[in-house]
Structure 1
Amino acid sequence: MKVVVGLGNPGRRYEKTRHNVGFDVLRQLSRRWNAGTPRSKFEAELAEVLVNREKVLLLCPITFMNESGRAVGAALDYFDVAPEDVLIVCDDFNLPVGRLRFRPSGSAGGQKGLADILRRVGIQEIPRLRVGIGPLKPQWKVADFVLSRFDSADREIVDELVAVAADGVEDWLREGVAFCMNRYNGYPNKSTESGDSTCADDESPRDA
């Protein structure tokens, strides 16, 4: 089994906010895979599907972002899933709108939902896909910025990015995180058709 986790905040108040792009990616996948209505368990919305004959669990914690680790930890324990078979999809205000970044491990880089998951699971070696929502505007506090909505121009970019991120999740299921780093890190400044090179700016002290 593989587990794909989308991070966000529950409730209509937070729909389409920057912090909820992880939820948006999982909804895109749910539609593609005809996952049906999710069920509630482990303080999360869950849907199980078969993708290329492999069972995949889509998981969206319905705790608030900062407590995402409760749901993820409980699900991994119950299904006995290894950390390398989990992909966390989350927002990143250190990445500009329109950019993606896969990582096999590392720190949370300021993403509090990811930080809670890493703390509760007890290791940093969990693959993650970061979706750019930045840059953080100088006059904004981080908490206010991530809970804001995109303007119309950025919303159009993000809607396209969500679809590309969903493609990336499908590639992760087939090919693994190293392939996805090569293919998607740096999107859209390099083609996602070839995956021939690695983005030169992919090293960051914050794992952003």
Structure 2
Amino acid sequence: MYLIVGLGNIGKEYDKTRHNIGFDAINLLSKEYNIPLNRKKFKGTCGEGFIGSEKVLLIKPETYMNCSGESVIEAVNFYKIANDKIIIIYDDISLNVGRMRIRTKGSAGGHNGIKSIIAHLNSDEFNRVKIGVGSPKGELVSHVLGRFSKEHREVIEKVLGIASKAVECMVKEGTVEAMNKFNSVSLED
């Protein structure tokens, strides 16, 4: 079983913000693979289904970003999921809008949701799909909690479609294959 987690914050005020790109990705995966997000479990909203022949658990943690690890560790412990079967999807300010990067390990890079997951898993070795939201021109918090311009939102919708295909590839063919296929993709201006 794969655990696929999209990071974000609950509440209408955070809907479609840069920091909620992980939630947007999970919503798209739910729709594309007909996996209803219809259960409250593991401190989040989740749904089980299949991508190809692989069983997957999709989760949108409801702990708020800084405590995302609480949700992840509950699911990991319940299902005994190995770190190489975890995929975390989240926003990255070091990547421009239109970019996406797949990694198998690494630091939190200042991302509090990833810091929490690393602390709870006691490891930085888990798969990540980082979606570029651009670097802030001003204050960081207002940037990540802000919304995309109309033009950038159109690009992000395309990137989310690519991220969905990348996750499918990770599940069906492995993360290394997905990195080879998708890390060079760019929809930047």
Q: Tell me which interval the TM-score lies in, with the shorter structure as reference length.
A: over 0.9
Deviation at 1:134, TM superposition (A): 0.4
Whole-angstrom CA distance in 1 between matches of 2:181 and 2:119 = 29
Structure 1 segment 105-184 matched on structure 2, within 5 A: 105-137=105-137, 140-184=138-182
What are the superposed Cα offsets for residues 48-103 of structure 1, whole Å, 9 maximum, x if unpaired?
Answer: 00222221000110111000000001110011000110000000011000000000
Q: TM-score, normalised by structure 2?
A: 0.96
Whole-angstrom CA distance in 2 between matches of 1:126 and 1:32 = 24
Is 1:85–2:78 an aligned residue pair?
no
| Structure 1: runs of 5+ lacking an equivalent | 190-208
Structure showing greater Rg: 1
Q: 1:55 to 1:125 in 2, by over 3 A?
A: same
Whole-angstrom CA distance in 1 between matches of 2:109 and 2:31 = 30
How many pairs were matched up?
A: 188
What are the superposed Cα offsets for residues 138-170 of structure 1, whole Å, 9 maximum, x if unpaired?
Answer: xx1111110000011101100111111111100
SS in 1 for 2:59: strand
SS in 2 for 1:98: coil
SS in 1 for 2:40: strand
Kept after mapping to 1: 8 A contact 2:99/2:185: yes
| Structure 2: runs of 5+ lacking an equivalent | none
SS in 2 for 1:110: coil
- Which residue matches 1:200? none
Kept after mapping to 1: 8 A contact 2:36/2:48: no
Q: TM-score, normalised by structure 1?
A: 0.87
SS in 2 for 1:72: helix
SS in 1 for 2:5: strand
Whole-angstrom CA distance in 1 between matches of 2:17 and 2:106 = 25
Q: What percent of counterpart residues are identical?
A: 39
Structure 1 segments, 4+ long, off by >6 Å, are none
